[in-house]
Amino acid sequence: MKKIFKKKLFRVNSKLRIYIYIIAFFLSLVFIAIIYQSHKNRVLINNIKHNPIQVYYKIDDLLYDFLTDSSITKFVNNKTSFNKLAYIPSNLEYISSDYVTDSKWNSRLREEANIALQDMAKDFYDVFWVKMQVVSAYRSYDYQVGIKSRWCSDLLCAKAWFSEHQTGLAVDLWETTTKDEFLSKSNLLKYFNWMKKNAYKYGFHNTYQKWLSIDWYLVEPWHWRYLWFDLASELHNTNKTFAEYYYINK
């Protein structure tokens, strides 16, 4: 009787040990998967912060948020405004560096755009041995009111509350005049051609390039807006402006 009992107990213990081993094995796999995903997330966050042009991941629908003032893809033009009249980005920082000249000495951009601008400016410098010159970046509502008080046309200067510069994601480079005058200068034409070929790699897009009927503004070869690598690449590859993309996908 004792032998029979011991055999049954041994069988039970054997089955129990097998179940325990199986459960432990799967728990180990889950633990490894959690560690691996955590590592991937840290790498992704680090890449976004320090080297945005290397981030090649599919962005979900939340990125293409045209309505929220703080969204990277917030859409504004002279018919579409911010929600909050005096919206101010929370992460503005000064932009001067070894590769960027700030003509106003105190220009600022949002952190994401500034990191991308610095990367772009370094590569630009490697080609031309010239610093990228920023003549305008973030503009507050009140600052834009001052610009409009000097009778700048709505076709060239956005109304206060309607300007991409208020996003903290837009820069004017080298000088702001007219399209023909800007592109008539050989050095600026070279810079612009380089930007057309390369700016999307850093997440930048030339917002106003197809005149009033599409973009609602005159052509501005100096005006560049940060939109993330993914959207800037799509616009570049499909030859669409941000306005065209917005009206198709809003």
**Is 144 found in the same domain as 67?**
yes
**Is 84 found in the same domain as 39?**
no
For 139-172, write each residue's pLDDT tens digit: 999 988 988 777 777 767 788 888 999 999 999 9
CA distance 150 to 165: 17
**Is 234 found in the same domain as 116?**
yes
Model-level pTM? 0.74
**Is 146 found in the same domain as 33?**
no
Mean pLDDT for 26-31 is 64
Domain that holds residue 17: 1-50
**pLDDT of 194 over the 80 cut:** yes
The CATH number assigned to the domain holding 147 equals 3.30.1380.10
* Band of residue 20 on the pLDDT scale cut at 50, 70, 90: low
**Is 192 found in the same domain as 176?**
yes
Domain count, the chain: 2
In this structure, of 144-153, 170-179, 198-207, the range with the lowest mean pLDDT score is 144-153
**Is 91 found in the same domain as 44?**
no
**Is 154 found in the same domain as 91?**
yes
**Is 39 found in the same domain as 82?**
no
Q: Work out the mean pLDDT of the chain and round it to a whole number.
A: 83
